[in-house]
Amino acid sequence: MTTSDDASDHTQRPVSTPTARFMKAIYVYEVPVRLWHWINALAITVLAVTGYFIGSPLPSLPGEASAHFLMGYIRFAHFAAAYIFAIGFLGRIYWAFVGNHHAQQLFRFPFWDRHWWAELFLEARWYLFLERRPKLYVGHNPLAQFAMFWCIGVGSVFMILTGFALYGEGSGVDSWQDRLFGWVIPLFGQSQDVHTWHHVGMWVIILFVMVHIYAAVREDIMSRQSIISTMISGVRTFKDSEEPADEEHKAPAAKSKTVPKASEPID
Amino acid sequence: MATLETFYEVMRRQGITRRSFLKYCSLTAAALGLGPELVPQIVHAMESKPRTPVLWLHGLECTCCSESFIRSAHPLVKDVVLSMISLDYDDTLMASAGHQAEAILDEVMEKYKGNYILAVEGNPPLNEDGMFCIIGGKPFVDQLRKVAKDAKAIISWGSCASFGCVQAARPNPTRATPVHEVITDKPIIKVPGCPPIAEVMTGVITYMLAFDRIPELDRQGRPKMFYSQRIHDKCYRRPHFDAGQFVESFDDEGARKGHCLYKVGCKGPTTYNACSTVRWNEGTSFPIQAGHGCIGCSEDGFWDKGSWYARLSDIHQFGIEANADQVGATAAIGVGSAIAAHAAVSALKRAQHKGDV
């Protein structure tokens, strides 16, 4: 597989023939998934900002203590957003069961799927400018799925477990938070280490968000399918006629014969 | 030690009136967080039960636990506890020494097999077959194992016995090991702190004697009655924390006004102990009241969490001393730069192939 720019390659691809188009649009993200995505994005923003200021508070306020409740409000916002985050995540897990198969991707890590790994490295090569063209995906590409699974799937569980364990410290030994999540604290050693790891978790999610937003914008421009608008409308649109690599589709045989199979090398 | 007197008999013999005795029982009940209806139970236990022998061993430690213990005010160690329990072996406090002292240890172990309480101050080092701590010519770990074998229960005094403390701090050359990792077949009550509060120590012992059972323990094996809340939860400076009023540096205006010490590294929010309620030296004060943040001395591994004057822990895995924010921000800058570079190359590539998809 090369990244050749030779002319024959260009002529093979029926880019400009609208009749050969595979499918213009596929409904991918259902309403609950999209709703969760944006609520979650907001919750993470609030959690990261307030969380940072809990660890490193704002400059001290003058006057009487009774005149202020700044840390109280910051912590309240953190806990409120945390509940929204956690309940949203539970709802998202529920939707993985009842929604379409794209809703399961966040929770799946096909470790034993060699084909999946091959496509993951292909996608990585595309990001390293080693590949001429990325493949088409209706859902997440394998690399994106990998990041989603670890940073948001596993990452959310981690943050919810450590977060509620820390919250349980304040709500007391007999609170349901402590009964359900209190075991996390001795697991890490003691409270201080749970704080540290919760903090590290925040940075991991921040790094993910940075890459996520960049990749979404870049893919929207440079890849062969829509990205950003898909998370708003739910519909994935494609810029060319090739079949997506991850979809078992029922395209008419006449049409699919005119384009190269996804499993074949593109170039 | 032929026939063991009851607590009450010992106290009367020492000239304590019945009135004072009843007052002591009430105070003890209050100190243990028990209701008044349990006072008669304590009185009855004190009047009828023989004293329980306590063997107090010392491993790698600094004796600060003993120093704290002998300053207990409620109950007063001098008048009550040292009479109440039959402290038959404590090489720091006992009069006898040498072979005489070791003989007592053997005698008690044999006579009260399965009925004595073992109190351990400090911990055994395991490296070099335990040669870093020798008691009576033998490694301390041997003595500990021998005495623990027939003990009813074990009290781990202080952070050394409970978690390892300074001996076990990185890199722990002697492999100092907390008691519960050496003795695994006995109930162990951890009373951490460097040192633990005197009233907490005597309170734990009194509870065990009065009710003939070990106090309810939390997940980490500490008595719930003293270790179920953080310093932060009951700190008298807590309103300043909630208000967002902090000491930014020692000796600033906030420090003079007694604001929250969170920003100068107070570990109160992550430390389980009774300092902010019981306080020290007959309830006189505690570190935060004196203007210094809590150092978290009753928490596991508190020596290895970085500065006592910083809130965020050091993360040693990065080779340098860095906390979560430094590591995270560095990574964010790295990823941000990578994104910028990647975007630039992407734009160039795109310009290069303008027209094709």
What is the mean predicted confidence (pLDDT) over A121-126? 89
Contact A202 B259 (CB under 8 A): no
Q: Which residues of chain B have a CB within 8 Å of the CB of A61?
A: 243-245
Nearest CA in chain A to B334: A207
Q: What is the ipTM of this complex?
A: 0.84
How many CB pairs lie under 8 A apart between chains A and B? 143
Contact B299 A191 (CB under 8 A): yes
CB atoms within 10 A of CB A126: 20
- Nearest by CB: A200 against B220, B299, B324: B324
User: Among B19-33, B182-196, B291-305, B314-328, where is mean pLDDT lowest?
Assistant: B314-328
Q: How far is CA B164 from the centre of its chain?
A: 10
Contact B244 A61 (CB under 8 A): yes
Report pLDDT for B20. 84
Contact B324 A196 (CB under 8 A): yes
- Write A224-228 long-range contacts (CB < 8 A, 24+): A224/A133, A224/A134, A224/A136, A224/B357, A225/A136, A225/A137, A225/A138
pLDDT, tens only, A34-93: 999 999 999 999 999 999 999 999 999 999 999 999 999 999 999 999 999 999 999 999
- Give the confidence band of A248 by pLDDT, cuts at 50, 70, 90: low
Contact A236, A223 (CB under 8 A): no
Report pLDDT for A253. 42
At residue A13's C-alpha, the angle toward residues A12 and A14, to 5°, is: 115
- Nearest by CB: B243 against A61, A199, A221: A61
Q: Phi/psi at B223 (nearest 5 deg)?
A: -60, 125
Distance from CA of A217 to the nearest CA of B (A): 10
Tell me the residue ranges of DSSP E strands in chain A.
Answer: 25-27, 235-237
C-alpha dihedral (B223, B199, B51, B189), degrees to nearest 10:
20
Nearest CA in chain B to A212: B339
- Nearest by CB: B357 against A15, A68, A71: A15
Q: Phi/psi class of residue B98: alpha, beta or left (left: φ > 0; alpha: ψ in -120 to 50)?
A: left
Question: For chain A, what is the mean pLDDT?
Answer: 83
Which 3-state string (H, E, C) describes chain B?
CCCCCEHHHHHHHCCCCHHHHHHHHHHHHHHCCCCHHHHHHHHHHHHHCECCEEEEEECECCCHHHHHHCCCECCEHHHHHHHHCEEEEECCCCCCCHHHHHHHHHHHHHHCCCCEEEEEECECECHHHHCCCEECCEEHHHHHHHHHHCEEEEEEEHHHHHHCHHHHCCCCCCCECCHHHCCCCCCEEEECCCCCCHHHHHHHHHHHHHHCCCCCECCCCCEHHHHCCECHHHCCCHHHHHHCCECCCCCCHHHHCCCECHHHCCCHHHCECCHHHHCECCCCECHHHHCCCCCCCCCCCHHHCCCCCCCCCECHHHCCCCEHHHHHHHHHHHHHHHHHHHHHHHHHHHHHCCCCC
- Nearest by CB: A71 against B242, B272, B343: B242
- Nearest by CB: A60 against B239, B259, B270: B259
Residue indicated by tokens 């004190």? B46
Distance from CA of B228 to the nearest CA of A (A): 6
Report pLDDT for B258. 93
- Give the confidence band of A131 by pLDDT, cuts at 50, 70, 90: confident
Q: Alpha helices, DSSP H only, in A99-183?
A: 114-127, 142-147, 155-171, 176-181
Is A19 or A109 the better-scoring residue by pLDDT? Answer: A109
- Give the confidence band of B83 by pLDDT, cuts at 50, 70, 90: low
| Cα–Cα distance measured from residue A205 to residue A155, given in angstroms and rounded to the nearest whole number | 7
- Give the confidence band of B275 by pLDDT, cuts at 50, 70, 90: very high
- Nearest by CB: B301 against A72, A190, A240: A190
Contact A172 B229 (CB under 8 A): yes
Report pLDDT for A210. 94
Q: What is the largest CA-CA distance in chain B?
A: 104
Distance from CA of A165 to the nearest CA of B (A): 12
Report pLDDT for A239. 77
Nearest CA in chain B to A219: B346
Contact A70 B228 (CB under 8 A): no
pLDDT at residue B343 greater than cutoff 60: yes
Write out the two tokens for B263. Answer: 């920003």
C-alpha dihedral (B182, B186, B189, B190), degrees to nearest 10:
10
- Nearest by CB: B244 against A10, A57, A239: A57
Q: Which residues of chain B have a CB within 8 Å of the CB of A221?
A: 350
Contact B300 A196 (CB under 8 A): no
Contact A169 B263 (CB under 8 A): no
Report pLDDT for A45. 97
Nearest CA in chain A to B336: A210
Contact B150, B114 (CB under 8 A): yes
The helix or strand, by DSSP H or E, that contains position A32, with its residue range, turns out to be helix A31-55
CA B229 → CA A5, B41, B218, B225, B271, distances in Å?
68, 27, 11, 9, 8
Strand partners, B280: B285
Task: Return the SS3 of A27.
Answer: strand
pLDDT at residue B33 greater than cutoff 80: no
Question: For chain B, what is the mean pLDDT?
Answer: 86
pLDDT, tens only, B221-267: 999 989 999 999 999 999 999 999 999 999 899 999 999 999 999 99
Nearest CA in chain A to B338: A211
Distance from CA of B233 to the nearest CA of A (A): 7
- Nearest by CB: A57 against B263, B299, B339: B263
pLDDT at residue B317 greater than cutoff 50: yes
The predicted model scores a pTM of 0.84
pLDDT, tens only, B7-28: 788 778 878 888 988 887 887 7
pLDDT, tens only, B88-97: 788 887 777 8
Distance from CA of A194 to the nearest CA of B (A): 9
Distance from CA of A107 to the nearest CA of B (A): 25
Q: How far is CA B73 from the centre of its chain?
A: 19
pLDDT, tens only, A188-218: 988 999 999 999 999 999 999 999 999 999 8
- Classify residue A160 by burial, with Cβ atoms within 10 Å: 0-12, 13-18, 19+: middle
Distance from CA of A190 to the nearest CA of B (A): 6
